[in-house]
Amino acid sequence: MKHEIRVWDLPTRLFHWILALCIVLGIIFVKIGGNAMQWHAYCGYLALTLVLFRIIWGFAGSWHARFANFVPSPKQLIAYLKGETAGGLGHNPMGALSVIALLLAVLLQASTGLFADDDIFFQGPLAKYVSNATVAFLTSVHRFNQYIIIALVAIHIAAIFFYQVFKKEGLIKPMITGNKKVLVTSEVSVSTESIDTSKQRLAALAIFVAVGVGLYYLIK
């Protein structure tokens, strides 16, 4: 018998969708250019805050949000690729690697953006603290890394389509509702359900605000 189990807590779901929006809007604003570059910067600041929050939440969040739960060892990854083990309730091993890659790529993009200078419309708030050569290098990294992010997002979307069409496993709805319908077995029990209480959500909000305030004082 299948039971509906809470897999993704609300902070994790909000992080996912807001970061997705930041990436899309950030790309749109940079293509528009001009005064829209300031909004591109705002998207970058928010994306950096989100990623730093997610890193902390990867240690302090609910079970399925924690890195300890979904980041695979080489042995686990090989076993999954051989079909010897199934994916977990949350991220499967390949999905976990995709998440880590995207987090690192966005972290790199947002961090280098703080030092970037296009010599026309925008200068990062920390560019004045480093040499011109460093600014030029970090700006080039920032420009190139956008294509890596676009590629990772494309792979992410393709994987969602693959699981939906070929494996008949919807990944979008659980990231909206937080719940998955699963067959309860000895490996998957109701006890594996993520904790998603008001107290935990307030803790997540406090972490997010603290990160945001810290970043604000860093770049102001």
Q: pLDDT tens digits, residue range 173-198?
A: 999 999 988 766 545 545 567 788 99
Report whether pLDDT(199) > 60.
Answer: yes
Report whether pLDDT(81) > 90.
Answer: no
Q: Mean of the pLDDT values across residues 36-54?
A: 96
Assigned fold of 2-219? Fumarate Reductase Cytochrome B subunit (1.20.950)
Q: Which of 39-43, 67-71, 93-97, 117-121 has the lowest mean pLDDT?
A: 117-121
- Residue 197 CA, distance from chain mean position: 22
Report whether pLDDT(135) > 90.
Answer: yes
Tell me the backbone φ, ψ of residue 117, rounded to 5 degrees.
Answer: -150, 120
Task: Assess contact for 152 and 160: CB atoms under 8 A.
Answer: no
DSSP 9: -
Q: How far is CA 71 from CA 49, 57, 88, 90, 98, in A?
A: 22, 14, 11, 11, 10
Whole-model pTM above 0.85? yes
CA 56 – CA 67 distance, rounded (Å): 10
Residue with tokens 């604000």: 216
